[in-house]
Every structure is written in C-alpha cells, then in structure tokens.
A and B are shown apart, each in its own frame.
Chain A
C-alpha cells in the first residue's frame, strides 16, 4: 500500500512539534471543511498545557505535551505524521525524536528554512528510503479532503475554498518553491481541475524526499493522471525526471516550468531566494534543464502563461465539489479562556419548600470543590471527604502566622479585605502551602521505581524537608487527631496507593525522629489523590495537571479564609487597638556581635 493509499484509507493522525498557530489552524479548518475528524492529535511544546484554537466556529483547547513520550496512550496508535515547525537548529533532533517515538509513522514536513546541510544529509541517510518527508523548508503536502500537512494551499478559509482543497481530482502538483506551490494549486483550480495531491519539495539544497521519489508516488497513484511541476535554476534534480522518463518509470504526462532565464541578464550567476537557486555549472541553468526536459517529451514551455496552457491540457477527471459554508470561519473571535460559568439560573436548588427546610443534598464545600475541579463531585465519599477536610482546616488557632498577620492588620485599622489578604499572602511553603507540594511528592512516589527509604534519601538530600511530614507539636505516641480522623477515609477505598506510600514514607522518617509524622497536609494530599482517582475517575495525568495548577492548595486557602475572617471580625468586635511587639523583644543582636 502506498502512502497515498494509506492516507485515503483514513490514516491521517498528526502530531505537531513547535507552535505555528496560523498553520495549525489552517489544518483544522481544512479538516472541518472536509467534513472529517481533526487530524491533529496534539502539539509537543514545552511549557504549554494547551493551545486555544477553533474547530469550525467554536473554540476548543488543543492539548500540548512536553515530549513525544508524554503523548497519551489513547492518541499514540493514531499517529502517522509529524508537522515540524521548530526552528532550523532544532529541526533535526525533534524529527529524530519523533521517529524514535513513532517508528511506524509514515512521514513529516519540516517547515524551517536554515536547517544545516549536515542535518539534512543525516535525515536523508536515516529516513530517505523509508519515510516521506517534505522539506526542510517549503510548505508541506496536501491530499485533498484528507490531509493537509503544512501551510500548503493557504492558511485562510477563503483560500482553502477557492483552491478547492476539499475535492479530490487527478492533477499532482510538485514544486520546489513554497510560493509557487500555492500558485500552481490555484492554477489547477482555475483550470477547473482538482488535485490528486500536491507536494512541496522545498527550496533547500538537500530535501529529504527527493523529486524522483515524489514523482514515483505520482506514477504509482491511480488517481493521478498528470503532473504539473515547478522548478528553478540551480541543482540538477530535473535530470532525475529525464532519467525516470527514459527508463520508463515515469509515463504520466508532465507539464513543467523551470524558472530562472532572468539569470542570463546578470554578469555573474546570482543566488536567488532559495538556497539551491544558484547556477554552479552550465547544466544547472534554467535553459539547459528546460531543454533536457523537452528532449524527452515533457511539455516545458518558455513562458509561464504557456505553461498554464500546458497545465490545462493535462488529463482531468470528473469531480464534484461539495458546497461548504466558510462564512462561520471568517468571523471568529478569540475569547478569554474560562470554563467557569456564572451560576446556572436553571438549576438553582430549592432551599425551602412548602414552608419546610429542605435538607441539602450536598454541602458548600462539595459545590466549591466541584467548581475548583471544573466538574461536580459525583461520589458521596468524595463529597464527604472534601467537606471534612474543609471543616478541619477552617482554623487552627490565632497563633499561626497567617492568623497573626490578619489580626495585626485588622488592629491597624484596615478593612476586612485588606486584613484577609495580608493573612492569605502569608500562605506559602512554610505555612499552609504544603498540600500541593505533598501531592506532587506522593504522585511521584506512588508511581514506583523508588522504595520509601530511597525516596526519603533523595528528597532530603541537601537538607531539604519532606512537605507533608512532620509537626511542631504532635509526635509518635501523641497523634494529630485530625490526621487520625481523615485517615479513616482510606477504609472506604478499594485501593489507596498514595496514602500507602505516604504512610511508608512516615515509617521511614519516624525512625529518624518521632516528630516526623504524617501531618494534616500530607494526609489530605494523599487521600485527595486516592479519592479523586478511585471515586471520580481522575487519571494520573489529570491529577498531575491539578497539582501543576495548585488545586490542592485551594483546599487549604478556602476554609482558612473563613478562619482568618473569623479572627479579623473578632479583633474588630473587641477593638483591640494597634499592635506592636513588646520593647524587650527588640534590639537583640546575634551572639558574638557587639
């Protein structure tokens, strides 16, 4: 089965390396207008979680992955092509990384100009025989209605429609120049023909897939009845066409235009726009190549208008364009990403019915947690757990640092919001901000690979502490009652790998110091992970995303805000007055200083 057969059989999954929004969006528009599923499965780009794009008139979030290895299992089987829009210096390694991760993939387009020749020849050595790779440079390739791999054929919906890229036909367009690929595609549509496929080889000196390989694809493709070719001065690729025709390998009619007669108007040979467009020897001139093509029967006229006439004479097949409405694609506007909607007016719960109080199905914290997660909690276990966590975390006394700040600010005469914010700004790695860090540790640990003691050794190297472990007051033999209460939730679960791991870490750390027990942050993080996983169906990568977004710290911030406000209101009610530290606490110096 040839590449084109496979594509026509629906194998068209694309991974993008790097971000070029215009090109990526044009591929999605092509898919949408063709009435197909999205061909792009995701984008491999460090530092992004998703990219906002349009599917038809609607916006959606295209997932991003940190590396090819991070592409989720559900997509992997569909991957067939790479669209590489990385810079010239990164093009080689990213292409190799793709084919190492997806050795069965069919091909790629490398968009960058300025890929070093040495990289290009290495790619040829590694993949020249087995893969189809358009570029380096150029605009990629397109199979009408099925696959658009690159900027080829245009990037706005109007172009996709006027170029009739949704309708399959019988003319193959092959060009070194990206711009002239567009011109020829436009000319084919203007001649009331349709493309079987179009392939831009790229204007670099060493395109990975050579002209002769593309022509063989065209020859073997039953849909292709004729070939339109654009070439330039420089290089000797056109002699490959001559060889293919002479050897009988290429029998389909070819119309060709070889640009560059203008070079004869210069005193010396000139380097034109593309790297290869420079005449080094006489056989590389436009005139010589044109004449060689003519000699073996190619229709290779002198002028471009004559070439368009030759193109019109290429055999065409009947075609029928399916009318599509591109209007909805032309008036799109990006929004600010927010999946949080204003409270749904249709589903306001009934609080009181027929003069009687209706016992609420779920509590405030369940509703809040659902809002934070972006989807409601469905399991009574998770509802009860988050309710319990919030209740336990509302307050832990007025002497913890955040509460102290809130109170001091309130006593300085500031308003409620200012006082609250001063307390909230105290939350961080040493106070209250440990749940999220602990969740990260348990996620890593529960993945396996390290024993609890190895994990402790690694995490405590360089004097670091393990967040989620240790308490100032409680210790072995004097357990934290909140931890004990929350731990009971583990008995409701079938499995609790994060909780188990946290406990195994505790078993190691208490061997060093009795105060290094699992604390309330640690147990909250562990059980939240286990409960979201088992009761709400969260995958490991979704949990990691929640951790990265700092969801777990919200579980502390929210109830503790209530606690802070309680302290603030109390200070105001009692009008405690301006606070200052007692004088005897001040002006001490570190030991040894005078």
Chain B
C-alpha cells in the first residue's frame, strides 16, 4: 500500500474474556486483511514514533468504540508532533489503544461500502458503490448477495466490480483466521489497489485455538468495566470452563439477581421488566455450565456485595433458574449459602429477603438446604422447586419490593 496505511498501533495488554463474535482492533484487522502489504508498526504507547516530517496523519482510538468521529476520538490531518497531545487527552478519558496512519487524500465520491459475513448458507455480501451512506437507511443502493462453495470471489467481483484478488484475500481470512464479519467503510479502489480507510472485523472466538498467532486476546479491545464487580467476574470467568456473567444495571436498585442458565435467566429478567420493575433491576447475569461450589461462592459474593451497596430501602435477592439438565443444584446452592453466610448480619440488618426457584439434579436436597438456611437466619422470602413456574420467585420478589 503506497499510502494511507502506515499504521502505528499503540497497544495495551488488556484483554477480554472470549465468547462468540468479538471485535478485533482496527490495527489487527487491517494487518490480517492486507498481510505483507500493510506496513504498519506495532509500538507501545511510550515508544517514540517516527514519521516523515511534514507527513499528515490520522490518529484514532482503537478499542472497538462505535461512532468514534462523533465522540471526537479521531484526529485527521495532524502532524506527528501533535500525537502526544491527543493521546494525553484521550488517555485522561480512559482510552489506552490508538492507531496512527498516514492521511490518504481522496474524494468522497471514491468511497465505497463493503461488508462480508459468514451466514448459514455461505457468505453474505453487502456493497454500495456510493460511500458515506447509512446502508440501513438506503437499502435501494445496496447490492446484497449470498454465495457459497467454489467461485464465491468471482461471483462477488462480478456483482460489485471490486478486484477479485482482494475479495479472495478477504474470504481466505474467513477460512483460515475465523473471521465472522468484516465491514470496510469507507473503501477506496484505484485500479487494482484497494485502500481500507476504516475496517472493522469480528472474529469467532471459538476458532482461536486454530489461528496460531494471527490474532489473540490482546487484539480484542477490553470494554472498560463499568463496575468493579463486573471486572471481578470477568476475571473469574477467565479461570473456569463454566459460564459466569455479570452486568451492573442500576447500582441503587431493589432487585438483585443470581440467575442460572442462558435462556432461563432471560425469562426471569423478562418477568421483572414485564411486571414494571425494569428500573428496579440492579444487575443482570447468569451462572451455568456446572460451576463448582467455590466458583459459585465467588460469583454470589459479588452480587451480594452489589445488593448491600445499593441505597434502596427495600431489597430482595432472587436466586432463580430453570430446571437444569446437569448442573447440580445442591453443590451450587452450597456455594451461594457460603456467600450469604459471610454477610448474614448485614443482610438481616438491611431487611433483605431471598426468593428462590430452581430445579434439576439434586433439586430436593439443594432446596431443602437453602430453605432451612434462609428460615434459620430470617432471610426467607420463598423457595420453590420445579413444580412451580420459573417466574414465581421473581414475582414474589417484585411484590415484596413494591409492597
């Protein structure tokens, strides 16, 4: 690439717990697509960056942030000497990863839109010859094509007029680098040369084991955890094959959730929202996939701490989930009781009630243990098993906080 691609990557070692489709940094995305052609240099923030004097540069925050331009996270046409100024300012806003490229002078009418996505029946291409448009607002200007098997690149080249070799390179990235989605906007083509002014790539985290060093967790920007508890659970998640997720919604809410199961947790959270208690939900999350007693304890501890920190006057803890297929109710409940025991006097003082609904292996023993613990310590709201509807505990909890 003669121009516009001298990228400099200012990286940090923060990384993200991998799951499903995750976004790569722009630097890594372009490096993978353009390969040898991308003459970027990867540097640490503290390293000196050498550019030809007088070169006009583009500096951007590179952390998977959407709408960077609107947020003022892109500096266009700056001199190398100005880089520290912008980085200092963005660093004070909590950003740590940046990309620098030489400015690529072009006209707006040259800009095109291109995206490719892996779909059930092959690959889906979206292309607009007219750049800078919102493709959702102008579907009539978008070429849409799904193709599979041999000759995908040829079909896409014919449909778009884009160089076939470039499209083939992109498709190779899907085949060997586990790309799931790529969006290049804008894209400029001059003859056989292709210029990626901006590129976003989602990779399939499940393929990480087979990409060698093409990309790794360090190429996936970490979202700044909004809350310390989220960061703690994210760190815990990295150490276990079980699934542990936590998002803090409203720190001063009345309802706190210890939910289990990917689907069941949504049903229970739905019920609270449908009962008009959406703004009373303190957190969303789930534990599933057979966590151990110790892992469940560490997870529950975070949720209980959130609940205790809430300034709401009436507070409830909902421990609920579907009828598990193989997660042992007895073991996971023992972990939750461990966490409750640590804070039992503060929970009592705050007048917290605990509402439970759960089914699955070892259900009877697990529920009996939980019921007797809650009863003994004056925390009992209600305890239900698989013979009661999954939403009963959250319904009771909503009645309690609204009552």
Contact = CB atoms under 8 A, between A and B. Distances in A.
Given A117-B180, A179-B324, A265 B262 contact: no
A264 B279 CA distance: 11
Contacts of B249: 265-266
A456 interface: no
Contacts of B136: 281
Interface string B343-384: 000000000000000011111100000000000000000000
Given A179-B288, A259-B270, A118 B325 contact: no
Contact of A182 (B247, B284, B324): B324
A262 B266 contact: yes
B261 interface: yes
A155 to B, nearest CB: 5
Contacts of A265: 249, 269, 273, 278-279, 281
Contact of A159 (B205, B264, B360): B360
B310 interface: no
A519 interface: no
Interface in A114-131: 114-118, 121, 124-125
Interface in B241-298: 243, 245, 247, 249, 260-267, 269-274, 278-279, 281, 284, 286, 288-289
A275 B274 contact: no
B326 to A, nearest CB: 5
B322 interface: yes
Contact of A273 (B262, B281, B323): B262
B64 interface: no
A302 B273 CA distance: 11
A117 B325 contact: no
Which DSSP category, helix, strand, loop or mixed, fits chain B's interface? mixed
A260 interface: yes
A568 B210 CA distance: 61
B223 to A, nearest CB: 10
Given A179-B324, A303-B391, A118 B262 contact: no
A531 interface: no
A277 interface: yes
B364 A158 contact: yes
Contacts of B175: 118
A442 interface: no
Given A156-B361, A260-B270, A261-B273, A183 B264 contact: yes
Contacts of B7: none
B128 interface: no
B204 A177 contact: no
B98 interface: no
A263 to B, nearest CB: 8
B263 A230 contact: yes
Contacts of B209: 89
A88 B270 contact: no
Contacts of A158: 363-364
B118 interface: yes
Interface in A160-203: 162, 175-183, 185-187, 190, 203
A116 B210 contact: yes
A265 B276 CA distance: 11
Interface residues of B, number: 60
B206 A162 contact: no
Interface stretch (A63-71, A146-154, A248-256, A485-493): A146-154
A308 interface: yes
Given A139-B325, A159-B360, A271-B20, A262 B286 contact: no
A178 B247 contact: no
A155 B363 CA distance: 12
B174 interface: yes
Nearest to B287: A273
Given A116-B207, A118-B175, A179 B266 contact: no
Interface in A341-394: none
Nearest to A176: B263
A176 B267 CA distance: 13
Contacts of B323: 154, 159, 179, 182-183, 185-186
Nearest to A22: B326
Q: Choose among A153, A232, A262, A286 the residue with the greatest number of B CB atoms under 10 Å from its CB.
A: A262
Contact of A304 (B245, B262, B267): B267
Given A125-B148, A154-B325, A177-B262, A88 B206 contact: yes
B80 interface: no
A88 B387 CA distance: 34
B19 interface: yes
Contact of B204 (A116, A153, A155): A116
Interface in A295-345: 302-305, 308
Contacts of A186: 323, 359, 386
Contact of B321 (A179, A266, A304): A179
A89 B148 CA distance: 23
Contact of A175 (B263, B266, B274): B263
B139 to A, nearest CB: 12
B127 interface: no
B70 interface: no
Nearest to A275: B20
B206 A259 contact: no
B364 to A, nearest CB: 7
B9 to A, nearest CB: 26
B66 to A, nearest CB: 9
Contact of A270 (B20, B247, B325, B363): B247
A273 B206 contact: no
Nearest to A154: B325
28 contacts: A118-B204, A121-B120, A124-B120, A125-B148, A151-B326, A155-B361, A177-B262, A177-B264, A178-B262, A178-B263, A179-B264, A179-B324, A179-B325, A180-B267, A180-B322, A182-B360, A183-B322, A203-B262, A205-B21, A232-B266, A261-B274, A265-B273, A265-B281, A270-B284, A275-B21, A286-B270, A302-B274, A305-B389
Interface of A: 22-23, 88-89, 113-118, 121, 124-125, 139, 151-156, 158-159, 162, 175-183, 185-187, 190, 203, 205-206, 210, 230, 232-233, 257, 259-262, 264-266, 270-275, 277-278, 281, 286, 302-305, 308
List the 10 closest A-B pairs by CB distance, nearest first. Answer: A273-B262, A177-B263, A179-B261, A180-B263, A183-B322, A275-B20, A262-B269, A116-B207, A259-B266, A151-B325
